[in-house]
Structures are given as C-alpha cells and as structure tokens.
C-alpha cells in the first residue's frame, strides 16, 4: 500500500471510522472523512491524519440525493474512489414488547435507512468512480449472526450489509472489485459507551475470554487488511473481530 489511493470512509468523525481513516492515511492513502452532524469531531479527525490531500465531506446518509452528492464531491476532490468503507451506522433500542407500533416503525425505518440502504446507495455511487481492482468494506456486526433482541432492526441491518457484500462480490468480481465485511462485537466507542458502563458493561466484557471489548484500532486493522491489494481473493468474506465473544460455524 502507500500508493496514495483515494479512500472514502463514512461516519469517520469518531470511533471505528476515525480509527480507520487514521490507519489508511498512515499508509499513504488520501482520505475523504465523511460526517453527518458531528462537524467538530470530523474536523478533529481530519486534522489528526498523516500526510496531505485529505478532505472533509458531509451528508445526511438517510437522504439518497445528499449521499450521491457527497460521494461525487469526494471523488472530485480525490480524483476517484479506490476504496469505500461503509462505516456509518446507528444503534437504538426498540424492544418489541416495550415500544408502541409507531415507535417500532420509526426505529426500523431510521435504522435500515442509515445502516443498510445508505451503504447500498454509497456503494452504487462509489462504483461509478471506482477503477477495476477497487475495494468496498462494510462495517457490520456480530449482531448479524447472534441476534440483537433489544435492537432487532440493527441486527437485521447488519445481516443485510453482509448479504449485500456477498451479492456485490459476485456482481463486481469481473472487475476485480473486492466487496467484504467486518463483524465486530462491542467496541470502545462513543456509540457503545452507555452499553459499556456499570454492571452491563462488565457483562459485555465478560462475553470474551479476553475479558474486554475491542478497541477501534483493532477493527480498523481488519478493515485495512480487507482494503489492501493482498486481500483481493478474500472478496465476499466476513472477518470477525469480537474476541471470541461469539463464534459461528
């Protein structure tokens, strides 16, 4: 690597997205740091990147037109999109027995819109700017496999991301565009902070025999590998990063 590729990372203002942006920039890539509403945090991420040629792009990913304009803006600034990392996502509770029907519908609509449909839209747009041999990496979740009883739309959206990656791996293989996914467990991020506090946090950490959850940099390392030239034949794969907290066959 270190070839100065053009990379777009969605949801890069903090957490896994910020760590991924930093890791790819450290290897010489030029990064478009996308954010939705957290402009100050995104600017902080941008300022922390090694090298130069990086840009900041903004869009509400629930808006398909804004998503397309954002991807086009990133491509214009970077001279294309060699790598797309679909990282942006939301995680909110909607227990089926505790929500009203209206709350239930809103939670499903919001979660699928941002976590799944936006990733599909960003991929469609990015592929128009992507050369043969490009990379698309989706940040999914172990919840795609183990289930998320309190956040079922989240689990469904992440399972959808994985199915989408596998479908597009077949669709784009003739162009040597690799489409993959990582499936982390809980990660020490702002989004997971509430779930990792107190007794509930202790329980989450005890799910892994290592007695902790992942660091954003550990998930970023998996993304970096899947985005690398060496991972071309790994297209369609799902890389678990959950400290053996959930094992699947």
Residues annotated catalytic, as ranges: 154
Sheet of 6-9: strand order equals 55-58, 30-35, 6-9, 83-86, 135-139, 178-184, 238-241
* DSSP one-letter code for 131: P
| Nearest to 36, CA basis, from 93, 110, 128 | 110
The rounded distance, in Å, linking the Cα atoms of 240 and 47 is 30
In 3D, which of 159, 169, 181, 156 has the Cα closest to residue 238? 181
Measured CA to CA in angstroms, residue 84 lies from 57, 125, 149, 165, 244 at distances of 14, 10, 30, 12, 27
């Amino acid at each position: 690597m270190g070839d100065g590729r053009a990379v777009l990372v969605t949801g890069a203002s903090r957490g896994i997205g910020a760590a991924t942006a930093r890791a790819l920039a450290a290897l010489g890539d030029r990064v478009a740091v996308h954010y939705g509403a957290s402009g100050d945090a995104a600017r902080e991420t941008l300022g922390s990147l090694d090298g130069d040629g990086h840009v900041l792009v903004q869009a509400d990913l629930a808006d398909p037109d804004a998503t397309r304009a954002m991807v086009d803006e990133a491509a214009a600034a970077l001279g294309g999109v060699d790598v797309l990392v679909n990282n942006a996502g939301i995680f909110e509770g909607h227990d089926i027995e505790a929500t009203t029907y209206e709350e239930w519908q809103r939670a499903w609509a919001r979660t699928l819109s941002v976590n799944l449909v936006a990733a599909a839209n960003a991929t469609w747009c990015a592929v128009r700017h992507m050369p043969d041999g490009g990379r698309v990496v989706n940040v999914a979740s172990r919840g795609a496999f183990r289930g998320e009883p309190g956040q079922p739309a989240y689990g469904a959206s992440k399972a959808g991301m994985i199915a989408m990656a596998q479908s597009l791996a077949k669709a784009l293989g003739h162009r040597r565009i690799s489409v993959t996914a990582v499936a982390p467990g809980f990660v020490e991020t702002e989004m997971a902070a509430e779930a990792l506090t107190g007794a509930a946090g202790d329980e989450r950490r005890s799910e892994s025999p290592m007695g902790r959850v992942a660091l954003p940099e550990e998930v970023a390392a998996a993304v970096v590998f899947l985005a690398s030239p060496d991972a071309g034949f790994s297209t369609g794969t799902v890389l678990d990063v959950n400290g053996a907290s959930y094992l699947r066959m």
